[in-house]
Amino acid sequence: MSPRTGPRPNVPVTIDGVEHKAFEGETVLELAQRVGVRIPTLCHLEGLSIYGGCRLCVVEVTGDRRLSPACALEVTAELEVTTQSWTLHEHRRRIVELLFAEGSHVCAFCVSSGSCELQDLATEHDVDHIHYDFAHPDAGIDASHPKYSLDRDRCVMCTRCVRVCDEVEGAHVWDVAMRGSQGRIVAGMDQPWGEVADCTWCGKCVLVCPTGALSFKGRATSEMVHDPEVVAFLSTAREQGEWLDRKADA
Protein backbone atom coordinates (compact mmCIF):
# COMPACT_ATOMS: atom_id res chain seq x y z
CA MET A 1 0.00 0.00 0.00
CA SER A 2 1.03 3.56 -0.31
CA PRO A 3 3.68 4.75 2.10
CA ARG A 4 2.15 5.93 5.31
CA THR A 5 2.96 9.40 6.39
CA GLY A 6 1.94 11.27 9.45
CA PRO A 7 1.48 9.70 12.83
CA ARG A 8 3.22 6.57 13.95
CA PRO A 9 1.12 3.45 14.28
CA ASN A 10 -0.78 3.70 17.53
CA VAL A 11 -3.77 1.37 17.36
CA PRO A 12 -3.16 -1.61 19.65
CA VAL A 13 -4.12 -4.82 17.89
CA THR A 14 -3.38 -8.32 19.08
CA ILE A 15 -2.55 -10.91 16.46
CA ASP A 16 -2.19 -14.48 17.67
CA GLY A 17 -1.50 -13.30 21.19
CA VAL A 18 1.14 -10.72 20.27
CA GLU A 19 0.31 -7.04 20.52
CA HIS A 20 1.16 -4.81 17.58
CA LYS A 21 0.60 -1.16 16.83
CA ALA A 22 -1.44 -0.59 13.73
CA PHE A 23 -1.97 2.51 11.64
CA GLU A 24 -5.41 3.92 11.70
CA GLY A 25 -7.42 2.64 8.74
CA GLU A 26 -5.05 -0.25 8.18
CA THR A 27 -6.55 -3.65 7.52
CA VAL A 28 -5.62 -6.68 9.57
CA LEU A 29 -4.00 -8.18 6.50
CA GLU A 30 -1.84 -5.10 5.92
CA LEU A 31 -0.81 -5.08 9.54
CA ALA A 32 -0.04 -8.79 9.51
CA GLN A 33 2.07 -8.45 6.38
CA ARG A 34 3.88 -5.49 7.87
CA VAL A 35 4.77 -7.37 11.04
CA GLY A 36 5.54 -10.62 9.29
CA VAL A 37 2.51 -12.73 10.16
CA ARG A 38 1.51 -14.94 7.28
CA ILE A 39 -2.19 -14.98 6.35
CA PRO A 40 -2.98 -16.90 3.17
CA THR A 41 -4.63 -14.91 0.38
CA LEU A 42 -5.65 -15.54 -3.19
CA CYS A 43 -7.98 -12.90 -4.59
CA HIS A 44 -6.32 -10.07 -2.69
CA LEU A 45 -3.68 -8.08 -4.47
CA GLU A 46 -1.97 -4.99 -3.20
CA GLY A 47 -2.84 -2.08 -5.42
CA LEU A 48 -6.28 -3.37 -6.39
CA SER A 49 -9.62 -2.86 -4.71
CA ILE A 50 -10.59 -5.27 -1.96
CA TYR A 51 -12.70 -8.15 -3.23
CA GLY A 52 -13.05 -10.59 -0.33
CA GLY A 53 -14.20 -13.47 -2.49
CA CYS A 54 -11.71 -16.29 -2.01
CA ARG A 55 -12.27 -16.44 1.76
CA LEU A 56 -8.81 -17.85 2.45
CA CYS A 57 -7.80 -14.94 4.65
CA VAL A 58 -10.65 -15.41 7.12
CA VAL A 59 -9.54 -14.93 10.71
CA GLU A 60 -11.17 -15.35 14.09
CA VAL A 61 -12.05 -12.17 15.93
CA THR A 62 -12.41 -12.37 19.69
CA GLY A 63 -15.96 -11.56 20.64
CA ASP A 64 -17.37 -12.18 17.18
CA ARG A 65 -18.75 -15.61 16.43
CA ARG A 66 -18.35 -14.97 12.73
CA LEU A 67 -15.11 -15.14 10.83
CA SER A 68 -13.88 -12.04 9.06
CA PRO A 69 -11.76 -11.69 5.93
CA ALA A 70 -8.49 -10.09 7.05
CA CYS A 71 -8.20 -8.28 3.72
CA ALA A 72 -11.25 -6.17 4.51
CA LEU A 73 -11.17 -6.05 8.28
CA GLU A 74 -10.11 -2.62 9.43
CA VAL A 75 -8.24 -2.42 12.71
CA THR A 76 -9.93 -1.01 15.76
CA ALA A 77 -8.38 -0.42 19.15
CA GLU A 78 -8.02 -3.58 21.23
CA LEU A 79 -8.95 -5.78 18.31
CA GLU A 80 -7.89 -9.36 18.92
CA VAL A 81 -7.55 -11.72 16.01
CA THR A 82 -6.39 -15.29 15.59
CA THR A 83 -4.92 -16.09 12.20
CA GLN A 84 -3.88 -19.68 12.81
CA SER A 85 -5.98 -22.36 14.44
CA TRP A 86 -6.91 -25.90 13.62
CA THR A 87 -10.40 -24.77 12.63
CA LEU A 88 -9.10 -22.06 10.33
CA HIS A 89 -6.61 -24.48 8.83
CA GLU A 90 -9.41 -26.94 8.11
CA HIS A 91 -11.66 -24.29 6.59
CA ARG A 92 -8.83 -23.02 4.41
CA ARG A 93 -7.81 -26.51 3.40
CA ARG A 94 -11.37 -27.29 2.31
CA ILE A 95 -11.58 -24.05 0.35
CA VAL A 96 -8.36 -24.93 -1.48
CA GLU A 97 -9.69 -28.40 -2.17
CA LEU A 98 -12.93 -26.91 -3.52
CA LEU A 99 -10.92 -24.75 -5.90
CA PHE A 100 -9.06 -27.79 -7.18
CA ALA A 101 -12.25 -29.81 -7.50
CA GLU A 102 -14.24 -27.20 -9.42
CA GLY A 103 -11.56 -26.51 -11.99
CA SER A 104 -9.20 -28.57 -14.03
CA HIS A 105 -5.95 -27.70 -12.33
CA VAL A 106 -3.74 -30.34 -13.78
CA CYS A 107 -0.38 -29.07 -12.59
CA ALA A 108 1.45 -31.66 -14.62
CA PHE A 109 1.20 -29.69 -17.83
CA CYS A 110 0.37 -26.22 -16.59
CA VAL A 111 2.36 -23.27 -17.85
CA SER A 112 2.36 -21.86 -14.34
CA SER A 113 3.35 -24.95 -12.40
CA GLY A 114 5.98 -23.76 -9.97
CA SER A 115 4.76 -20.16 -10.16
CA CYS A 116 1.22 -20.82 -9.06
CA GLU A 117 -0.40 -19.43 -5.93
CA LEU A 118 -3.01 -22.20 -5.85
CA GLN A 119 -0.32 -24.85 -5.98
CA ASP A 120 1.50 -23.11 -3.14
CA LEU A 121 -1.69 -22.82 -1.11
CA ALA A 122 -2.27 -26.55 -1.46
CA THR A 123 1.16 -27.27 -0.07
CA GLU A 124 0.73 -24.71 2.69
CA HIS A 125 -2.50 -26.38 3.79
CA ASP A 126 -1.29 -29.98 3.57
CA VAL A 127 -3.60 -30.76 0.68
CA ASP A 128 -2.26 -34.14 -0.39
CA HIS A 129 -5.43 -35.18 -2.18
CA ILE A 130 -8.90 -33.80 -2.91
CA HIS A 131 -11.81 -35.13 -0.89
CA TYR A 132 -14.38 -33.93 -3.40
CA ASP A 133 -15.15 -35.25 -6.82
CA PHE A 134 -13.63 -33.37 -9.70
CA ALA A 135 -16.00 -31.40 -11.87
CA HIS A 136 -13.89 -31.84 -15.01
CA PRO A 137 -15.23 -28.61 -16.48
CA ASP A 138 -14.89 -27.68 -20.11
CA ALA A 139 -15.31 -23.93 -19.92
CA GLY A 140 -13.11 -23.33 -22.90
CA ILE A 141 -9.81 -21.87 -23.90
CA ASP A 142 -9.58 -18.49 -25.58
CA ALA A 143 -6.38 -18.30 -27.58
CA SER A 144 -7.64 -15.67 -29.98
CA HIS A 145 -5.34 -12.97 -28.64
CA PRO A 146 -2.05 -12.77 -30.52
CA LYS A 147 0.04 -12.51 -27.35
CA TYR A 148 -1.90 -14.12 -24.53
CA SER A 149 -4.21 -16.99 -23.87
CA LEU A 150 -6.93 -17.81 -21.37
CA ASP A 151 -7.68 -21.28 -20.03
CA ARG A 152 -10.95 -20.89 -18.13
CA ASP A 153 -10.67 -24.33 -16.56
CA ARG A 154 -7.70 -23.06 -14.57
CA CYS A 155 -9.50 -19.93 -13.41
CA VAL A 156 -10.24 -19.52 -9.70
CA MET A 157 -12.56 -16.52 -10.17
CA CYS A 158 -10.36 -14.22 -8.08
CA THR A 159 -11.17 -11.39 -10.56
CA ARG A 160 -7.69 -9.90 -10.26
CA CYS A 161 -7.67 -9.61 -14.05
CA VAL A 162 -11.06 -7.88 -14.03
CA ARG A 163 -9.92 -5.42 -11.40
CA VAL A 164 -6.46 -4.68 -12.75
CA CYS A 165 -7.82 -4.03 -16.21
CA ASP A 166 -10.53 -1.76 -14.88
CA GLU A 167 -8.74 -0.05 -12.03
CA VAL A 168 -5.15 0.23 -13.20
CA GLU A 169 -5.14 -0.04 -16.96
CA GLY A 170 -8.56 1.60 -17.29
CA ALA A 171 -9.57 -0.58 -20.21
CA HIS A 172 -12.21 -2.76 -18.52
CA VAL A 173 -11.82 -5.60 -20.98
CA TRP A 174 -12.70 -8.29 -18.48
CA ASP A 175 -15.91 -9.09 -16.70
CA VAL A 176 -17.67 -11.98 -15.04
CA ALA A 177 -20.53 -13.58 -16.91
CA MET A 178 -23.15 -16.04 -15.62
CA ARG A 179 -23.37 -16.95 -11.98
CA GLY A 180 -22.42 -19.57 -9.43
CA SER A 181 -20.46 -22.52 -10.72
CA GLN A 182 -21.34 -21.42 -14.26
CA GLY A 183 -19.59 -18.11 -13.75
CA ARG A 184 -16.68 -17.36 -16.05
CA ILE A 185 -14.41 -14.57 -17.08
CA VAL A 186 -15.30 -13.00 -20.40
CA ALA A 187 -13.58 -10.43 -22.59
CA GLY A 188 -15.49 -7.48 -24.00
CA MET A 189 -19.09 -8.40 -24.59
CA ASP A 190 -18.29 -12.10 -24.28
CA GLN A 191 -16.21 -11.94 -27.44
CA PRO A 192 -13.02 -13.70 -28.38
CA TRP A 193 -10.30 -11.81 -26.56
CA GLY A 194 -8.43 -11.12 -29.76
CA GLU A 195 -11.43 -9.27 -31.18
CA VAL A 196 -11.80 -6.90 -28.25
CA ALA A 197 -10.51 -3.58 -29.49
CA ASP A 198 -10.39 -2.18 -25.95
CA CYS A 199 -7.54 -4.50 -25.02
CA THR A 200 -4.34 -2.50 -24.90
CA TRP A 201 -2.10 -5.58 -24.90
CA CYS A 202 -0.59 -4.34 -21.65
CA GLY A 203 -0.51 -7.85 -20.19
CA LYS A 204 -1.26 -6.80 -16.63
CA CYS A 205 -4.05 -9.34 -16.35
CA VAL A 206 -1.58 -12.06 -17.26
CA LEU A 207 0.99 -10.86 -14.78
CA VAL A 208 -1.43 -10.80 -11.86
CA CYS A 209 -3.19 -14.10 -12.56
CA PRO A 210 -2.47 -16.39 -9.61
CA THR A 211 -2.79 -19.59 -11.64
CA GLY A 212 -2.25 -20.77 -15.17
CA ALA A 213 -5.53 -19.34 -16.41
CA LEU A 214 -3.87 -16.40 -18.11
CA SER A 215 -0.49 -16.83 -19.71
CA PHE A 216 1.84 -15.53 -22.36
CA LYS A 217 1.65 -17.52 -25.54
CA GLY A 218 4.63 -19.64 -26.37
CA ARG A 219 5.24 -20.71 -22.80
CA ALA A 220 5.48 -24.44 -22.17
CA THR A 221 4.88 -26.27 -18.91
CA SER A 222 6.26 -24.39 -15.90
CA GLU A 223 7.62 -21.60 -18.10
CA MET A 224 5.07 -18.94 -17.17
CA VAL A 225 6.24 -16.75 -14.33
CA HIS A 226 3.68 -14.28 -13.05
CA ASP A 227 4.55 -10.96 -11.48
CA PRO A 228 1.59 -9.85 -9.38
CA GLU A 229 3.72 -7.28 -7.54
CA VAL A 230 3.69 -5.22 -10.71
CA VAL A 231 0.43 -3.63 -9.56
CA ALA A 232 1.77 -2.44 -6.22
CA PHE A 233 4.84 -1.21 -8.07
CA LEU A 234 2.79 0.72 -10.59
CA SER A 235 0.68 2.33 -7.90
CA THR A 236 3.56 3.51 -5.73
CA ALA A 237 6.61 3.64 -7.96
CA ARG A 238 6.31 7.25 -8.93
CA GLU A 239 6.14 8.56 -5.36
CA GLN A 240 8.90 6.26 -4.26
CA GLY A 241 11.11 6.94 -7.24
CA GLU A 242 11.45 3.28 -8.01
CA TRP A 243 11.43 3.40 -11.77
CA LEU A 244 15.20 3.44 -12.14
CA ASP A 245 15.85 0.79 -9.49
CA ARG A 246 13.52 -1.62 -11.14
CA LYS A 247 15.10 -1.11 -14.50
CA ALA A 248 18.47 -1.79 -12.98
CA ASP A 249 17.17 -5.01 -11.39
CA ALA A 250 15.96 -6.23 -14.72
Per-residue interface string for the shown chain with another protein, residues 32-61, x marking contact by CB under 8 A:
------------------x-xxxxx-x---
CA–CA distances in Å: residue 228 to residues 46, 204, 205, 215 = 9, 8, 9, 13
Q: Does 136 bind another protein (CB under 8 A)?
A: yes
Closest by CA to 127, choosing from 79, 154, 94, 87, is 94
Distance CA 150, CA 215 (A): 7
Of the ranges 14-22, 124-132, 197-205, 237-245, which one interacts with another protein (CB under 8 A)?
Answer: 124-132
Angle between the N-to-C axes of helices 117-124 and 86-102, in degrees from 0 to 180, rounded to the nearest 10: 140
Q: Report the residue number, 119 or 149, with the smaller CB distance to another protein.
A: 119
Closest by CA to 25, choosing from 42, 55, 43, 5, is 5
Of the ranges 31-39, 66-74, 186-194, 224-232, which one interacts with another protein (CB under 8 A)?
Answer: 66-74
Per-residue interface string for the shown chain with another protein, residues 149-178, x marking contact by CB under 8 A:
-------xx-----------------xx-x
- Which DSSP letter does residue 109 get? G
Site residues for another protein, 190-249, by CB under 8 A, read none
> In a 3-state reduction of DSSP, which class is residue 2?
coil
Q: Does 91 bind another protein (CB under 8 A)?
A: yes
| One of 105, 152, 160, 226 touching another protein (CB under 8 A) | 105
Distance CA 62, CA 65 (A): 8
Name the phi and psi angles at 128, rounded to 5: -100, -10
Judge contact between 139 and 184, C-beta under 8 A.
yes
| One of 35, 72, 143, 202 touching another protein (CB under 8 A) | 72
Question: In whole angstroms, how close is the CB of 116 to another protein at the nearest point?
Answer: 8
- Per CB under 8 A, residues contacting another protein are 50, 52-56, 58, 66-67, 69, 72, 74, 87, 90-91, 94-95, 98-102, 104-110, 113-114, 116, 119, 122-123, 126-138, 156-157, 175-176, 178-183
